[in-house]
Amino acid sequence: MVPQSADPAKWSLEQGALLEFAGLVKTVMKDGQRVKEYAPVSVTQAFIQAVQRSGLDPFARQIYAAEMGGKWTILGAIDGFRAVAAASKEYEGRTPIQYTADGVTWTDVWLSQDNPAAARVGVKRKGYNDYAYTVVTWAEFGRTTGQWRSQPAHMLGIRVLSHALRDAFPQLLGGIYTPEDFDHQADAIVIEPSEDWGALIAVATTKEDLSVIAERARNRNEYSDDVRTLVLTRAGAISRGEIESEPVITQAYHDAKEES
C-alpha cells in the first residue's frame, strides 16, 4: 500500500490518500482553486523508508509526519513502538516505569503533587544479560503545558519508554519520535540544514558516494539521526542490489572532494 517512490506522479489514488492521511499531502486554496501541496521529497522518502523499516501502520495512526516550527519530523505513537518491539521477536519485556524525587528512592506509582524529578525503565532484548535501563529527568525533558500540566508522571513515563525502545531497537525505530519527544524539541531554535541531505542520499548509487555525503554532513555538524538512518537504509538497498549501479558520482561527491 505504501508507495515505493516519493514522486506523486507514481502514486495510485489509494497511495495518495494514505500519504495525505499521514500528513504529507495537504489540500489548500490558491487563486480560488483547491490544489495539493506536498512535503519535501526527502521527507516523503524518509517516511516511506521508516514505514517499510518499522512496520508501523499509517492508517492506524501509528506513524505520521508533521511540520512544526518549520521542521518536518516523523512521529510515532507509543503503542506503535510497543507493537514494533513485540513483532521483532527480540523483545523480552520491560520493567515497570519508576519515578523518583531524589534519584535514590524509586516508586512504581507517583502520588506526590510535585513533578517527578526523573523516570526510568528497563528493556530486555534477546541477547541482553539483563534489563538495559534508560533514565530521563524532568529538568531536561519535562514541560508545563498541555497534558504535561495535568499528567506529569504519565507524560514523563511515555518519554522514557520511547527512549528505551528506540535505544533497544535502533534499526526499527531510529529517527522516529513520539509527539511527547517532539513537543520538547518544538521549543528549540530550528536550524535549517545547509543542504538537502535526503535528496543527495536518495540519488547515491555507490557506497563510496554515500560515505562522502555522510562525511560532508559530519563536517558541518548536520549528521543527525535522520540523516544517519537514510544513509544506512540506502547503503542496505545498494548491498541488496535493489538500486541500479551506474558509474555515476553525484555533485555532492565532487563538491566534497573540492572541499577536502
159-195, pLDDT tens digit by residue?
999 999 999 999 999 889 888 776 544 433 334 567 8
* pLDDT confidence bin for 245, thresholds 50/70/90: low
Query: In angstroms, what CA-CA distances link 197 with 57, 170, 182, 192, 221?
Result: 26, 20, 21, 11, 12
Convert the pLDDT of each residue in 8-22 to its tens digit: 889 998 998 899 999
Q: For residue 81, is it within any domain?
A: no
Grid cell listed for 160: 522514557
Q: For residue 82, is it within any domain?
A: no
209: left (phi over 0), alpha (psi -120 to 50) or beta: alpha
Residues 180 and 67 in one domain: yes
Q: For residue 206, is it within any domain?
A: yes
Query: Is residue 228 a contact partner of residue 185, using CB atoms and an 8 Å limit?
Result: no
Q: For residue 80, is it within any domain?
A: no
Residues 32 and 161 in one domain: no
Residues 93 and 157 in one domain: yes
Residues 113 and 62 in one domain: no
Q: For residue 55, is it within any domain?
A: yes
State the Cα–Cα distance between residues 201 and 246, nearest whole angstrom.
15
Q: Which range of residues forms the domain containing residue 248? A: 191-260
Neighbours of 70 (CB within 10 A): 8
Residues 67 and 183 in one domain: yes
Q: For residue 47, is it within any domain?
A: yes
Domains in the chain, number: 3
What is the pTM assigned to this prediction? 0.64
